[in-house]
Structure 1
């Protein structure tokens, strides 16, 4: 294992989307550990207080090369990271070892025409929210004595596809803008690989987010992370699967919540068939008895998200999704 530091600067970040044409910001071997910096708030730099805008972010804002502005998404992503020997059809494991806010400040934005209730809340609004990193919480609204526990995670964890310019907004089988708050430090995400090297990018830090992310954004926060990237060449997946210390998580997306739920359910049934050895009908019943399906997000147009969770304590004691003493 080799330890790497991937700092966020004009040569290592890209804006708005994924592309298989981007040169790698870093090349690693399977099993390497990467300490990675991410920034958020590219589009609101000029409106942000000093506590939010660092000199590094200002430098990126003013001098990001045109070729690193990929698509129309608002997300500033660090990467891509090229994994040696990764080929289409393989699986990339992203092990999330540590996640922490870079700054004691985040923002939340209501965007006109977006969100779960765009007609009811049509006026755009930008708020900056201080973070109490010692008490691990944020007070919102200000002086309300309502304290939100911080549960930092990366909203975007994804790989490039053969689609040269893909917006960072919708999630999909490549991962991307998953916005799943269950993916805390100590979790693993498994992504299908579509292009040589995988070309993995990370960003969209969230300090706290309710399931649904109904107003369009969370507490959006520049974030530090430590990850390990493992390559699995004997594992076949068509959609992402995650594992936390307590649960297996499947993910579904669709233009409606019904479609997203159906997709997450089918993925859970397929997981139980493939990795537990159950028949389809028994898997279907077990989902009804023991799995929980939750709304991930309803705002990443055109893809709403639902994730299914089944406790590993329910599964056979001999079950190991991918052998790892970390779990």
Structure 2
């Protein structure tokens, strides 16, 4: 096992989407660990206060080359990372070992025509929110006494597909802009592999977010973290699956919440029948009496997200043993 460092530079980031045509920023072997750095706010850097900007981020914003601009999404992603021997049909495990803000400030933006209530809140507004990194809180609004716990995670964890200009906004079976607040340090996510090398990218750091992410952004934050990438050749998925210390998390993405929920439910049933001895009908009943389904996000057009949370404490033994 090797331990790598992947800094965010104009050679190691890409903007707006995923592409299998991008030159890898790093090549690793299964089981390697990576200290990774991500930046956020490419399109608002010229409006940001000084403590949001670093010389490295400025260099990216001013000199990112056209070939690193993939599609029209707003996200600046670090990667892609090429995993040796990864082939379509494999599963990539991403273990999130450490995640923390790299700067003491983030932003939230209301964008015209976006969010859950675009007619009611249609006026664009950009707010920069200080982060108290020592006490792990953000006070919002300032001087209100409302203190929001910082629970950092990466909103985007995804792999490339045969599409060369996949926009970074909607999530899908490749992962991408999942925006699941439970994927904090100590969790792991499993992603289907679609192209040789996997080509994994990471970014869209959030210091805090509510389920739904209703106004289209969280506290968007530049991040640093440590991840481990591991290939599974004898495990197959068609959509992402995650695990935290307490839960198995299934996912569904669709153009409506009804569609996303139905897919999350079907994926939970499929997971239970695969990893336990339950029949599909028993799995369906278990979902009704013991699985909690949550809205992940409603703003990553055209796909909304729903996730199911299955408590590991009620399951026999280590039934998801993929070590």
TM-score category, normalised to shorter length: over 0.9
1:129-168 aligned within 5 A: 129-168=129-168
Give me the whole-angstrom Cα distance separating, in 2, the residues matched to 1:100 and 1:52: 15
Partner secondary structure for residue 99 of structure 1? strand
What is the TM-score of this pair, normalised by structure 2? 0.99
Give me the whole-angstrom Cα distance separating, in 2, the residues matched to 1:57 and 1:125: 22
Give me the whole-angstrom Cα distance separating, in 1, the residues matched to 2:80 and 2:288: 39
Give me the whole-angstrom Cα distance separating, in 2, the residues matched to 1:275 and 1:88: 22
Contact 1:116 1:216 in 2 (8 A): yes
Shift in Å at residue 277 of structure 1? 2.0
What is the TM-score of this pair, normalised by structure 1? 0.98
Query: Which residue of structure 2 aligns with residue 90 of structure 1?
Result: 90
Give me the whole-angstrom Cα distance separating, in 2, the residues matched to 1:134 and 1:178: 28
Query: Which residue of structure 1 aligns with residue 312 of structure 2?
Result: 312
Partner secondary structure for residue 108 of structure 1? strand
Structure 1: tracts of 5 or more residues without a match: none
Give me the whole-angstrom Cα distance separating, in 2, the residues matched to 1:188 and 1:243: 5
1:171-210 aligned within 5 A: 171-210=171-210
Query: Which residue of structure 1 aligns with residue 255 of structure 2?
Result: 255
Give me the whole-angstrom Cα distance separating, in 2, the residues matched to 1:281 and 1:209: 35
Please tell me the root mean square deviation across aligned C-alpha atoms, in Å: 0.6
Deviations 1:89-127 (A, max 9, x none): 000000000000010000000000000000000000000
Shift in Å at residue 321 of structure 1? 3.7
Give me the whole-angstrom Cα distance separating, in 1, the residues matched to 2:46 and 2:186: 35
The alignment covers a number of residue pairs equal to 323
Shift in Å at residue 320 of structure 1? 2.9
Is residue 47 from structure 1 mapped to residue 47 from structure 2 by the alignment? yes
Give me the whole-angstrom Cα distance separating, in 1, the residues matched to 2:236 and 2:144: 49
Give me the whole-angstrom Cα distance separating, in 1, the residues matched to 2:269 and 2:39: 37
1:60-75 aligned within 5 A: 60-75=60-75
Contact 1:275 1:321 in 2 (8 A): no
Shift in Å at residue 318 of structure 1? 4.4
Query: Which residue of structure 2 aligns with residue 58 of structure 1?
Result: 58
Is residue 78 from structure 1 mapped to residue 78 from structure 2 by the alignment? yes
Give me the whole-angstrom Cα distance separating, in 1, the residues matched to 2:76 and 2:52: 15
Give me the whole-angstrom Cα distance separating, in 1, the residues matched to 2:134 and 2:233: 42
Greater shift in the superposed pair: 174-183 or 311-320: 311-320
Shift in Å at residue 139 of structure 1? 0.2
Query: Which residue of structure 1 aligns with residue 112 of structure 2?
Result: 112
1:242-321 aligned within 5 A: 242-321=242-321
